[in-house]
Amino acid sequence: MSAHDSATVLRPIAVGGTAQAALGVFAFSFSFPATAWALEGFGPWTVTGLRGTLAGLLAGVCLLAAGARVPPRSAWPGLAAVAVGCAVGFPLLSTLALRLSSTTHSAVVIGLLPLATAAVGALRAGARPPRAFWLAALAGAAVVLAFTVQQSGGAGLTTADLYLFGALLVCAFGYAEGGRLARDLPGWQVIGWGVVAALPVNALTGALALTAEPVHGNWHGLTGLAYLAAVSQFGGFVVWYRGMAAIGVPRASQLQLAQPLLTLCWAVLLLAETLPATAVPTALAVVACIAATQRAGKGTGKGRGQSGGDGGGAPSQ
């Protein structure tokens, strides 16, 4: 196959992978507003346990209906990271944070997740993205951090911030391991087996929390919980992991720089929170960083093995 033919074949894969990763980001951008809604009807431990339990049951039904085979033993350490990071750790820590902080503040702090995901993915795969990629990624993270400091009025880290930093750390490992596994397993099965593996822990958490925390069966609470279980915990990951498998963890992770800005919009529209005056210039700077990271990694991949979800991204390994 000629170089031209190879490029022609790989181009639709890259475009499709970018679109799927972007769709995952769009789905995740509603997660914090949905959590805020869920907290209107349930306590934080109840929200975490029930969303994980419902997602695990949904994933189990889908896996059975598709006749999916149990993954090989070699895949289970990675699936354990997905379960701990994406099905237990991030939901719990972010929900606890949202009890103490606004959706807008929390969304911007979690904006550091793309850099953490790219770093973990590259380290796990032994990848060497070009310097321009890392400079653009660091610039994006610096913009997000500056926005956070400005919004806090220069105050030190709060308890909510500590919850959020813990959430982004465990989630970065879950994202990176999920993207790596999605080379060999369909993306929906990666998150499917991950939430199924976490089902016993989440079911026990939900059962105990229901006896200890008050429940108010209002429309917001039920809608938020349903979204978290069906989309944030399962459906969004299906397209997210497929996107990472196609274009690589570092490149896909940088698309998430847009997620905090999308979440800010939903916070205004759905939660009536006040949009900070610096949101628009921050959004423009973030978009510029996304474009720079995508351009830095373009054209250096040599096939799915290198541009896939092993963490190497498009840059050669």
The pLDDT score that the predictor gives to residue 44 is 95
Choose among 51, 42, 95: nearest CA to 234. Answer: 51
The predicted structure's pLDDT at residue 297: 55
∠ CA(192), CA(197), CA(202), 5° rounding? 105
Integer Cα distance of 305 and 317 in angstroms: 10
Q: Cα separation of 172 and 114, whole Å?
A: 8
Q: Is the dihedral of CA 119, 79, 316, 17 positive or negative?
A: negative
Let me know: does 32 contact 106? Beta carbons within 8 Å.
Answer: yes
Question: Model's pTM, two decimal places?
Answer: 0.80
* Distance of alpha carbon 233 from the chain centroid: 10
- Other CB atoms closer than 10 Å to residue 100's CB: what's the count? 15
The pLDDT score that the predictor gives to residue 13 is 47
Q: Which residues of the chain have pLDDT under 50?
A: 1-13, 299-317
Is residue 165 within 8 Å of 109, Cβ to Cβ?
Answer: yes
Counting every residue written for the chain, the total comes to 317
Output the pLDDT for position 70.
93
pLDDT value of position 14 = 52
Please tell me the distance from the alpha carbon of residue 209 to that of residue 7, in angstroms, as a whole number: 53
The residue written with tokens 């351009």 in the block is 295
- Rounded Cα gap, residues 121 and 253, in angstroms: 9
| CB of 106 closer than 8 Å to CB of 160 | yes
Longest CA–CA separation in the chain, Å: 65
pLDDT for position 18: 87
Instruction: For residue 109, give both structure tokens.
Output: 């702090």
Structure tokens at 123: 């380290």
Between CA 117 and CA 131 the distance in angstroms is: 17
